[in-house]
């Protein structure tokens, strides 16, 4: 079947795998791959090349990203299941733990038994502001926010926040505001996980 | 160097669980594919903090668009990579527009000095589209595309032979 061989050698598959072909070609390649094993096999071989390239340079992501992704997915699924989004109050220096009772009391916003080092449940998320309940076992590695203002309200446990070589200690009821562009590290000082209201607001 | 990637059976079972909407399976998929994807995203973003945000958004989109993945067409990695690159390009452009300046650092030395490697570097790691590669090479998009495809073919010969 020479025409199939020609198709495989045409360069369209390489362009598809590299993401540089037109929408039209992309649809055509997908149809061909579904119809012909040899085309599919050729695409797999090219994918292997890219994957090996990527794995040779692999970077371990920051450990807080995965829980954040999973919390977002959980929230999306809750909304898809009919949960009505409610905007919680904005965090400020005068905020009290009881301002968030509605969410703290929710039975589906508890720490799961298989909790690792970081877990979060999103209360509400809009492009402007995300509010979540978060649990930290040990803390959070150094971060710098350049586009999001981060605030925390301690609900349970305690933690130290290191900013600019100064250690600030926080206990239940305390509000922490992290300024933009300042590297900060959170270290949990209680034996129980530190439970917080976490707010990130577009700066 | 040994490069471990999941066998076809592992991938098949992960994909089945993904299509069912299994969040635990999605965690495994993240653990498996986030490191190679982040390597590529970092090159496109040119900023590690932005790369982290891109990775976050890319995986949320991978989840949201999972019904569109067709295992008969391509491996999961390739589909995820194409989606992640789209997110990376959009967010990098937005960040650059927000700063009012070109965010990319000037063209650095590619991995090797061979032109082929450089072409793949531009497309694969820097997320350049064909028009931009053409500008870089001072040639037409048609010629640039042929060159990139040839580079990919040569690389394939080297890695998979």
User: How many angstroms separate the CA atoms of B84 and A119, rounded?
Assistant: 24
Other beta carbons within 10 Å of A51:
21
Confidence of residue A121 (pLDDT cuts 50, 70, 90): very high
Collapsed DSSP state (helix, strand, coil) of residue A115: coil
Q: Which residues contact B15 (CB under 8 A, 6 or more apart)?
A: B69, B71, B76
* pLDDT the model gives residue B111: 39
Chain segment A16-60, per-residue pLDDT in tens: 988 888 889 999 999 999 999 999 999 999 888 888 878 888 999
Token reading at A132: 């979540």
Residue A79 sits at the chain B interface (C-beta within 8 Å) = no
pLDDT band with cut points at 50, 70 and 90 for residue B156: low
pTM (2 decimals)?
0.81
Enumerate the residues of chain A whose CB falls inside 8 A of the CB of residue B15: none
Token pair for residue A94? 């005068």
Whole-angstrom Cα distance, residue A153 to residue A172?
Answer: 8
Give strand ranges (E) for B12-147.
none
pLDDT value of position B98 = 73
Residue with tokens 């978060």: A134
Element (H, E) at A169: strand A166-170
Higher model confidence: residue B158 or residue A199?
Answer: A199
| Higher per-residue confidence, B102 vs A102 | A102
Q: How far is A98 from chain B (nearest CA, A)?
A: 31
> Cα separation of A131 and A114, whole Å?
23
The predicted pLDDT at position B83 comes to 93
Structure confidence at residue B46 as a pLDDT band (50, 70, 90): confident
Asked whether the predicted pLDDT for residue A1 surpasses 60, the reply is no
Structure confidence by residue, pLDDT tens digits, B63-122: 999 999 999 999 999 999 999 988 988 898 888 887 654 444 434 444 344 677 777 777
pLDDT computed for residue B104 by the predictor: 45
Chain A nearest CA to B138, separation (Å): 18
What is the token pair recorded at A123? 């209360």
Contact B74 A65 (CB under 8 A): no
* Residue A196 CA, distance from chain mean position: 17
**B130 contact A CB<8A:** yes
Q: Which residue of B has its CA nearest to A56?
A: B3
Q: Among the listed ranges A65-79, A103-117, B92-106, B130-144, which one has the minimum average pLDDT value?
A: B92-106
Q: What is the pLDDT of residue B99?
A: 66
Alpha helix stretches (DSSP H) within A59-191: 65-80, 101-104
- Surface of A (133-172) touching B: CB under 8 A: 144, 146
Q: Which residues of B touch A73 (CB under 8 A)?
A: 23, 26, 60, 63
Interface of B with A in 134-153 (CB under 8 A): 145-146, 148-150, 152-153
Residues of B with Cβ-Cβ distance to A76 under 8 angstroms: 60, 63-64
Lowest mean pLDDT among A97-106, A137-146, A181-190: A137-146
- On whether any CB of chain A is under 8 Å from the CB of B161, the answer is no
Integer-rounded Cα Rg, in Å, for chain A is 24
User: Does B152 contact A14 at a Cβ distance shorter than 8 Å?
Assistant: yes
A10: nearest CA in chain B? B149
Query: Quick check: B154 pLDDT over 80?
Result: no
Q: Which of B73, B123, B136 to mutate to test the interface with A (most CBs of A within 10 A)?
A: B73
Tell me what the pLDDT averaged over chain A comes to. Answer: 92
Q: Which residues from B are below 8 Å from A17, CB to CB?
A: 74, 78, 152
């Amino acid at each position: 079947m020479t025409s199939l061989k020609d198709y495989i050698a045409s360069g369209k598959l390489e362009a598809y795998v590299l993401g540089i072909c037109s929408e039209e070609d992309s649809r055509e390649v997908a149809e061909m791959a579904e119809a012909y094993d040899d085309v599919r096999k050729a695409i797999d071989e090219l994918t292997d090349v890219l994957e090996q390239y990527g794995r040779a340079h692999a970077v371990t992501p920051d450990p807080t990203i995965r829980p954040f992704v999973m919390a977002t997915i959980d929230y999306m699924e809750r909304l898809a299941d009919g949960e009505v989004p409610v905007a919680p109050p904005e965090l400020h220096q005068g905020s009290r733990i009881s301002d968030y009772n509605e969410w703290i009391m929710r039975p589906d916003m508890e720490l799961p038994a298989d909790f690792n080092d970081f877990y979060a449940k999103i209360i509400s998320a809009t492009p402007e502001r995300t509010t979540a309940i978060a649990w930290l076992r040990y803390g959070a590695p150094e971060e710098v926010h350049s586009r999001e203002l981060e605030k925390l309200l301690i609900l349970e446990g305690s933690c130290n926040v290191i900013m600019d070589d100064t250690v600030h200690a926080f206990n239940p009821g305390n509000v922490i505001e992290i300024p933009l562009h300042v590297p900060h590290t959170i270290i949990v000082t209680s034996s129980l996980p530190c439970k917080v209201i976490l707010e990130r607001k577009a700066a | 160097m040994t490069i471990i990637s999941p066998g076809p059976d592992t991938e098949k079972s992960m994909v089945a669980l993904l299509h069912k909407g299994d969040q635990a399976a999605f965690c495994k998929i993240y653990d498996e594919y986030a490191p190679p994807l982040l390597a590529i995203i970092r090159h496109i973003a040119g900023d590690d903090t932005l790369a982290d945000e891109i990775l976050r958004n890319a995986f949320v989109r991978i989840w949201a668009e999972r019904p569109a993945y067709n295992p008969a067409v391509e491996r999961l990695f390739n589909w995820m990579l194409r989606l992640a690159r789209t997110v990376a390009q959009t967010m990098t452009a937005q960040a650059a527009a927000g700063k009012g300046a070109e965010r990319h650092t000037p063209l650095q030395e590619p991995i090797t000095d061979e032109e082929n490697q450089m072409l793949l570097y531009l497309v694969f790691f820097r997320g350049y589209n064909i028009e931009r590669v053409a500008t870089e090479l001072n040639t037409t998009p048609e010629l640039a595309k042929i060159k990139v495809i040839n580079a990919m073919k040569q690389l394939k010969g080297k890695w998979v032979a």
